[in-house]
Copies of this chain bind each other. A is one copy, B any other.
Amino acid sequence: MKSYQYQHRVQYYETDQMGIVHHSNYIKWFESARNEYLRKQGISCQELEELGVLLPVIDVNCSYRQRTYYDDLVLIKVFIKELRRVTITFAYEIKKGEELLVAGSTKQSFVNKDFKPFSLQREKPQIWKMISNE
């Protein structure tokens, strides 16, 4: 699977007094999309944590091109931009129909329950392959 499209209906509680979606919510939608992507790859974020693999976010970039409104039905396209031994970077494109609303990326590191980074490729090669889609 090269990419995954996560559908989201904009909720009332995600709007602000400008009448648009508050910008912090897109960061949450990124999370929803990438976690669903992982599940489709065969391993959920919950299973990863049970196997001792946490994925804290270490970097977020988000560029807002068009506003999103309550009740909009948007698609969040997610794909792996870079998979390294100790980090993974996802990229995102949020669209309404053909229109690109938001583009962004997140970088996460593979850490154990004590938040020590480790090489997922070396220590859990099967999971690494599953995620990398090799």
Spell out A's residues near B (CB within 8 Å).
11-13, 15-20, 22-25, 27-28, 31-32, 35, 44-46, 49, 54, 56-65, 67, 70-71, 115
CB atoms of B16 and A27 under 8 A apart? no
One of B11, B63, B71, B115 near A67 (C-beta < 8 A): B115
Find chain B residues with CB under 8 A from A11 CB: 28, 31-32, 35
CB atoms of A15 and B12 under 8 A apart? no
CB atoms of B12 and A16 under 8 A apart? yes
Q: Given A59-B62, A64-B56, check contact A15 B13 (CB 8 Å).
A: no
CA distance A59 to B27 in the complex (A): 12
CB atoms of B60 and A31 under 8 A apart? no
CA distance A18 to B57 in the complex (A): 11
Find chain B residues with CB under 8 A from A19 CB: 17
CA distance A19 to B56 in the complex (A): 11
CB atoms of A56 and B18 under 8 A apart? yes
CB atoms of B18 and A44 under 8 A apart? no
CB atoms of A64 and B71 under 8 A apart? no
Find chain B residues with CB under 8 A from A71 CB: 44-46
A15 — nearest CB in chain B belongs to which residue? B17
Find chain B residues with CB under 8 A from A70 CB: 17, 45-46
